[in-house]
């Protein structure tokens, strides 16, 4: 194939090292984007021409079935130096990762109705642990095989992923760093994610996590069988909570280096499998579509709150939701309690006691848990 001409770090696109990389993002959640690292590398007028520009290979990554309604149909066309399928066969990861769970039943988990609380996990100094090695399951429900349910993980890593990429075939990852910045390289480009921001890696994307600030820890929500979306606003109206324009997706970036022994780690059915190849999976020179990784700065969330009496239900602080087929019932909601004014008359100061029909997993990013400080 023709070798793509390398481009300077203009508009955050191109092939180069991280020190010279200029982070530029595409704004909007649910938009259909186009991005190219080399001018003219994106085909015009069709998705899969007989010969793609620069001799690239066209590859579609689908996030929904082909026949999903247009309003919910997710897919992106990737134009890459080498097809992603050109790898060696997958084999079970050895040694097996015993701390990840994808099937939540009585043979793999223990149920308890007791409220639990624990201290933050220490980031180990040794042995070396990257994002994959440091990922472990805390709780969940359902089944990754049946494509219905969720898992809540935590991670504690002290090294960057080197010579390998991760791919979750089970569902979407929503990653919340609590300590240490993350540099997430995806097939669509790079995302820099400090604490106070989140990043969503949709099902099927290959990605790698580097630690530019050193050790990192945080939380991960995983959903099976659906994707995250903005919640409906109902009587709130057209504006408020998380704004679609504040969600940022990467611009195209690629590397062309020969990488013998590069490892793809695939999560499938809750288990890890590995395959080797002789090239980087981040060889996408151009792409277009609406199925992309994205990040969000939680400080941009516009909360709504009490102005007279009583407390609003915590669902009013929903950033993203993973809906089910039952109206009003979510598989998983991602909710935050950001700094905000609480103004009420003749109202018990802490949020009310309640027994919920949904399970709650709460994690602290910064500050003091407000129920303890009330």
Query: Which residues define the annotated binding site for Fe cation?
Result: 354, 360
Strand partners, 85: none
- Binding-site residue positions: 354, 360, 369
Burial of 10 (0-12, 13-18, 19+ CB in 10 A): exposed
- Binding-site residue positions for homogentisate: 369
- Measured on CA atoms in the order 157, 132, 171, 14, is the torsion positive or negative? positive
- Measured on CA atoms in the order 220, 338, 361, 125, is the torsion positive or negative? positive
**To 5 degrees, how large is the angle CA 350–CA 320–CA 184?**
115
Give me 35's structure tokens: 């991005």
Neighbour tally for 242: CB within 10 Å = 22
Give me 2's structure tokens: 């023709």
User: Known catalytic residue: 311?
Assistant: yes
Q: How far apart are CA 371 and CA 65, in angstroms?
A: 43
Cis bond upstream, residue 127 (ω within 30): yes
Of 256, 266, 265, 261, nearest to 277 (Cα)? 261
**Catalytic residue among 11, 97, 148, 311, which?**
311
Cis bond upstream, residue 95 (ω within 30): yes
Q: How far apart are CA 105 and CA 307, in angstroms?
A: 44
Give me 219's structure tokens: 């939380």
Tracing tokens 């308890």 back to the chain, one arrives at: 112
> Would strands 164-168 and 148-157 be described as parallel, antiparallel, or unpaired?
unpaired
Q: How far apart are CA 303 and CA 341, in angstroms?
A: 9
The DSSP call for residue 124 is P
Give me 171's structure tokens: 């569902």
Q: Which residues are catalytic?
A: 311
């Amino acid at each position: 194939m023709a070798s793509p001409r390398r481009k300077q770090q203009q508009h955050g696109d191109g092939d180069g090292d991280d020190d010279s990389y200029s982070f530029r993002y595409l704004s909007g959640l649910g938009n259909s984007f186009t991005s190219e690292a080399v001018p003219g590398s994106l085909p015009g007028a069709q998705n899969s021409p007989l010969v793609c520009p620069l001799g690239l290979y066209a590859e579609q990554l689908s996030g929904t079935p082909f026949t999903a309604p247009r309003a919910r149909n997710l897919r992106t066309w990737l134009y890459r130096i080498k097809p992603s399928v050109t790898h060696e066969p997958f084999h079970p990861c050895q040694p097996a990762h015993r701390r990840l769970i994808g099937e939540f039943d009585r043979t793999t988990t223990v149920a308890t109705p007791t409220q639990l609380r624990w201290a933050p996990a220490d980031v180990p100094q040794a042995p070396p642990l990257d994002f994959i090695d440091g990922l472990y399951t805390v709780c969940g429900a359902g089944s990754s095989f049946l494509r219905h349910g969720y898992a809540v993980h935590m991670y504690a890593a002290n090294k960057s992923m080197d010579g390998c990429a991760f791919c979750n075939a089970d569902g979407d990852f929503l990653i919340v760093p609590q300590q240490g910045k993350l540099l997430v390289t995806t097939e669509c480009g790079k995302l820099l994610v400090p604490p106070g921001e989140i990043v969503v890696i949709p099902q099927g994307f290959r990605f790698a996590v580097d630690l530019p600030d050193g050790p990192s820890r945080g939380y991960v929500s995983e959903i099976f069988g659906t994707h995250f979306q903005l919640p409906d606003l109902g009587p709130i109206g057209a504006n408020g909570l998380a704004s679609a324009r504040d969600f940022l997706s990467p611009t195209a970036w690629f590397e062309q280096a020969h990488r013998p022994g590069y490892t793809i780690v695939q999560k499938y059915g809750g288990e890890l499998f590995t395959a080797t190849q002789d090239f980087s999976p981040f060889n996408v020179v151009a792409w277009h579509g609406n199925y992309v990784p994205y990040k969000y700065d939680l400080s941009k969330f516009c909360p709504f709150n009490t102005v007279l009496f009583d407390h609003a239900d915590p669902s009013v602080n929903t950033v993203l939701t993973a809906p089910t087929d039952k109206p009003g019932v979510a598989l998983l909601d991602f909710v935050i309690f950001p700094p905000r004014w609480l103004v009420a008359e003749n109202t018990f100061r802490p949020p009310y006691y309640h027994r919920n029909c949904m399970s709650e997993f709460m994690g602290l990013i910064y500050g003091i848990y407000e129920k303890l400080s009330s």
